[in-house]
């Protein structure tokens, strides 16, 4: 084993842990580096489930079709075919690891329907605790291997020598205000599985660790990124207390969205109503909220069929135990009264460009999960494809690293998998005085000018303010200060990509383009 490839996996969600398991199974020496404890990854917050063709009357071609349609025609068909074709095997692998997906009285997997799926192919665990159950099983499996786990370690940067990645620099025991000298960890391959960029926006479903660290490190190292303009906003986040996502599966079971007058308004925007693609539903909610002077819309679970309120309460408690508990903690009686919801930043479709085996454009560097731009999501992710992507491409990357190391070749075709309009630096913008920088100020700026509805005036303003902040000399010392630098760098690229794509596509909605089209 002394000559085994040394692999560092940064991140401990479904994608990173799947890489670790497959790389270890192929004889690699694996080190998993995580910003928090191993169990605390975005995966454990996933309520909706995992999509896959697991039933005899479902078809892989239909899953492919649904994914491409939801992606507004910008998904990479080859990547989508890999996702849908290999997905069932990866789901069975999760079952073998001990993931207990919900089953019906006959012992068969219980089917779930979510928006934009033509078939109820969503599997859940614990009703709405799918991510938590998957994370539990994967963490146990990784701890059972010989992998080294380094917790509370912050990724400072990649080590690049002679044109390829040779390791990472980390800040150990990084907990907010901790300072110290970064350590170097050397490796033959580095896998970035650090999640998304939810902390870039004032309203987000993501945990606080989602600060774009891996994407920022890749940008600094010169790896290609793309599709950063495609940020998905989840339509239904509780507008009471701390942000809490209410799964799309609730609408799949019959809950409706209504305005203050009781009107089911999403049908005004799409014939599928509440089960339209997420970007459509989120913008419909934003439209109605503007008409209501910013007040949230209402999610009406009383529309779910039941003989009476008591029966509905029992059913909701069994089907959505986590959501039901969150409602009761906030004093909301969703069994009898519609509850307030708003959109929030949820998922990044773009990221580090990879080929179909997780290789980036920079030799020795791989990316998986939300950190990667595989091409499967196009301009808008289909519900419950995120966990599947992490499992499918995590396995592919783990296997590829072993074969790449064995052959001594780190070739990649990731440069062939770049969307037509990549992020390409900051465009010239009118000078706008930059307020004093703070994370909250950046988040509010991005929410105002670069979220659900965009136009060039707002994007130019955001670009100018961000450029002013980026021009200021700072020397980060703490984890939070490093995170702020990462958020600023990623924000610069998100805004640049959004300005470069002047037409609307999926989650990227240009108000000025839509107005021009109707003139």
End-to-end CA distance of the chain: 68
Q: Answer for the pair 223, 371: CB distance below 8 angstroms, yes or no.
A: no
Q: Answer for the pair 115, 248: CB distance below 8 angstroms, yes or no.
A: yes
Q: How many residues does the chain have?
A: 519
Cβ-Cβ contacts under 8 Å for 519 (sequence gap 6 or more): none
Residue 326's Cα: distance from chain center in Å?
Answer: 22
Question: Which SS3 state, helix, strand or coil, does residue 351 take?
Answer: strand
Tell me whether residue 103 is one of the annotated catalytic residues. Answer: no
Largest CA distance in the chain: 69
Cβ-Cβ contacts under 8 Å for 36 (sequence gap 6 or more): 151, 152, 209
Catalytic residue among 121, 166, 278, 499, which?
A: 278
Q: Answer for the pair 396, 15: CB distance below 8 angstroms, yes or no.
A: no
The edge-to-edge listing of strands for the beta sheet with 297-300 is: 231-238, 339-348, 297-300, 256-258
- Backbone dihedral angles phi then psi of residue 488, each to the nearest 5 degrees: -65, -45
Residue by residue, DSSP assigns 3-49 as TSPEEEEE--SHHHHHHHHHHHHTT-EEEEE-SS-TT-SGGGG--S-
Residue 29's Cα: distance from chain center in Å?
Answer: 28
330/234 Cα distance (integer angstroms): 20
How does strand 183-186 pair with strand 164-172? antiparallel
Answer positive or negative: Cα dihedral of 432, 433, 434, 435. negative
Q: Answer for the pair 491, 442: CB distance below 8 angstroms, yes or no.
A: yes
What are the catalytic residues? 278
């Amino acid at each position: 084993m002394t000559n085994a490839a040394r692999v560092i996996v940064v991140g401990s969600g479904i994608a990173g842990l799947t890489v670790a398991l497959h790389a270890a199974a192929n004889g690699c020496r694996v080190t998993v580096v995580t910003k928090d404890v191993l169990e605390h990854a975005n995966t454990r917050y996933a309520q909706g489930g995992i999509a896959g063709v697991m039933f005899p009357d479902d078809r892989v071609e239909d899953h492919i079709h649904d994914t491409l349609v939801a992606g507004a025609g910008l998904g990479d068909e080859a990547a989508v075919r890999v996702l849908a074709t290999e997905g069932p095997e990866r789901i069975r692998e999760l079952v073998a690891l001990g993931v207990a997906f919900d089953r019906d009285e006959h012992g068969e997997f219980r089917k779930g329907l979510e928006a934009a799926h033509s078939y109820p192919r969503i599997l859940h665990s614990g009703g709405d605790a799918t991510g938590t159950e998957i994370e539990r099983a994967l963490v146990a499996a990784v701890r059972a291997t010989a992998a080294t786990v380094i917790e509370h370690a912050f990724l400072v940067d990649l080590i690049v020598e002679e044109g390829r990645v040779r390791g990472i620099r980390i800040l150990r025991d990084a907990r907010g205000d901790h300072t110290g000298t970064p350590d170097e960890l050397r490796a033959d391959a580095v896998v970035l599985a650090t999640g998304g960029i939810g902390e870039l926006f004032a309203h987000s479903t993501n945990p606080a660790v989602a600060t774009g660290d891996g994407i920022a490190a890749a940008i600094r190292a010169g790896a290609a990124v793309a599709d950063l303009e495609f940020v998905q906003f989840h339509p239904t986040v509780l507008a009471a207390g701390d942000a809490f996502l209410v799964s799309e599966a609730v609408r799949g079971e019959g809950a409706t969205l209504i305005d203050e007058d009781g009107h089911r308004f999403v049908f005004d925007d799409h014939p599928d109503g509440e089960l339209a693609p997420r970007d459509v539903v989120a913008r419909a909610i934003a439209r109605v909220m503007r008409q209501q002077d910013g007040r949230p819309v209402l999610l009406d679970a009383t529309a779910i069929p039941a003989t009476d309120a008591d029966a509905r309460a029992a059913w909701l408690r069994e089907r959505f135990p986590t959501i039901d508990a969150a409602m009761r903690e906030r004093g909301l009686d969703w069994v009898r009264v519609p509850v307030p919801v708003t959109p929030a930043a949820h998922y990044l479709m773009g990221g580090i460009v990879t080929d179909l085996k997780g290789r980036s454009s920079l030799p020795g560097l791989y990316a998986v999960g939300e950190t990667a731009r595989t091409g499967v999501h196009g301009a808008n992710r289909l519900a419950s494809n995120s966990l599947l992507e992490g499992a499918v491409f995590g396995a592919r990357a783990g296997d590829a690293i072993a074969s790449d190391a064995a052959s001594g070749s780190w070739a990649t075709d990731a440069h062939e998998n770049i969307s037509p309009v990549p992020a390409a630096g900051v465009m010239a913008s009118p000078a706008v005085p930059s307020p004093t920088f703070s994370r909250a100020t950046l988040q509010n700026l991005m929410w105002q000018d670069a979220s659900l509805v965009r136009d060039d005036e707002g994007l130019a303003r955001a670009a100018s303010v961000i450029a002013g902040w980026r021009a200021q000399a700072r020397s980060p010392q703490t984890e939070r200060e490093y995170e702020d630098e990462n958020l600023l760098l990623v924000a610069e690229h998100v805004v640049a990509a959004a300005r470069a794509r002047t037409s609307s596509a999926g989650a990227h909605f240009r108000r000025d383009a839509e107005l021009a089209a109707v003139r």
